[in-house]
Homo-oligomer: A and B are copies of this chain.
């Protein structure tokens, strides 16, 4: 018995087989995508990670045994095809393969839970229930290949700019930054929570002297929202920088996004084409609008919004239509931003907080942070939070905390923008929401 790994070892991925290989013998391994039996000739499309190859079996030229093997192919069964490459203008990549051997690697049961060849996509719930099958569609896997490239570029940007990668705990005691519900955990005899963000930890890291740190990790929020933009478990890209201002932090964020767009444009052409999505790559600096200008824009579009209110959904929508593409909102009222945001030095009612938006979608929030212990303490009290719950965090501000700035960005939301996905569930392999905890 031949070793199964020897048996299925491919010589090429399907995208590597073109007319220049005509006459050569190749071995491809993949899933049976489609079978068309026209009687005298049978076509089998074989799908692998990078594309689709056509097996062509003309009964006049092949043995009965070979034709029987070809006709035995079933959808989504894994086969290894050995055969000769032949030019064929109508076939994928301009080639077809005339089989000399077919090995069945693993048989698929039928019927399938999802059709991998369908043009009209199934309901999201059906797709997520059989996510492994859903991901066999190249316009679905393309999203995750792009997301992988996005994370790769993000980390390279950080490494190139002298950031240290950190991993902060997701199991946390009571102290949190507030503003959201947390998931409680039974941690031995204690109660603990899942971290809503690495905010407090990355700020504590500023007191270590490492200067620039980043983390790409999961965050957990027990909010009962049911929207196309929220999940209860999300991936967050977090950066924090000592001795850097709000403007420095905004520049870092803008540079990072532009580098991501550039890399994806260069390296993910096939995936963008599978998605039929054109990347929006701004060449100009991201526009900046102040919070007060936002109110004017929103009000001028007949949506109510008063000073001191956050943007509601209607406001986001008309603002997004007006601004298009990427833009910053600055000079947020201190009162509606978290306690750790530094107020402006000339007008403490306004703050150094900024949001990065793409059309109507909030991608990132950041700010210069408060580095003065007394001010931080009083801001915690001003938000009706209990400074005692922040004891360990506050301690880091007593012994030489640098002025610092930073931001956090939703990686899944950025993936939505880059891939054109309308539902955040499209951008997460196994999303978690109010109703879904499996697979």
Q: Which A residues are closer than 8 A to B by beta carbons? A: 1, 3-5, 8-10, 29-31, 47-49, 76-78, 105-109, 112-113, 129-133, 135-136, 141, 144-145, 147-148, 151-152, 155, 159, 164-173, 175, 183-188, 190, 192, 194, 201, 204-205, 207-211, 217-218, 220, 222, 224, 232-233, 235, 243-245, 248, 345, 371-372, 392-393, 395-396, 398-403, 428-432, 434, 437-439
The answer to whether B47 touches A209, judged by C-beta atoms less than 8 angstroms apart, is yes
The answer to whether B205 touches A194, judged by C-beta atoms less than 8 angstroms apart, is no
Residue of B nearest to A411 (CB): B167
The answer to whether B218 touches A167, judged by C-beta atoms less than 8 angstroms apart, is yes
Residues of B within 8 A of A171 (CB): 183, 220, 232-233, 432, 437
- Known contacts A106-B403, A372-B106; decide if A49 and B210 are in contact (CB<8 Å): yes
CB of A390, distance to nearest CB on chain B (Å): 10
Residues of B within 8 A of A393 (CB): 439
The answer to whether A209 touches B148, judged by C-beta atoms less than 8 angstroms apart, is no
User: Among A1, A152, A190, which residue has the most Cβ atoms of chain B within 10 A?
Assistant: A152
CB of A214, distance to nearest CB on chain B (Å): 9
The answer to whether A402 touches B78, judged by C-beta atoms less than 8 angstroms apart, is yes
C-alpha gap A235/B215 in the complex (Å): 13
The answer to whether A77 touches B400, judged by C-beta atoms less than 8 angstroms apart, is yes
The answer to whether B371 touches A9, judged by C-beta atoms less than 8 angstroms apart, is no
Residue in B131, B201, B243, B400 whose CB lies within 8 Å of A108: B400
C-alpha gap A191/B344 in the complex (Å): 44
C-alpha gap A155/B165 in the complex (Å): 12
Residue in B108, B151, B209 whose CB lies within 8 Å of A165: B151
Residue of B nearest to A218 (CB): B170
C-alpha gap A217/B217 in the complex (Å): 7
The answer to whether B170 touches A170, judged by C-beta atoms less than 8 angstroms apart, is yes
The answer to whether B392 touches A438, judged by C-beta atoms less than 8 angstroms apart, is yes
Residues of B within 8 A of A147 (CB): 165
CB of A363, distance to nearest CB on chain B (Å): 18
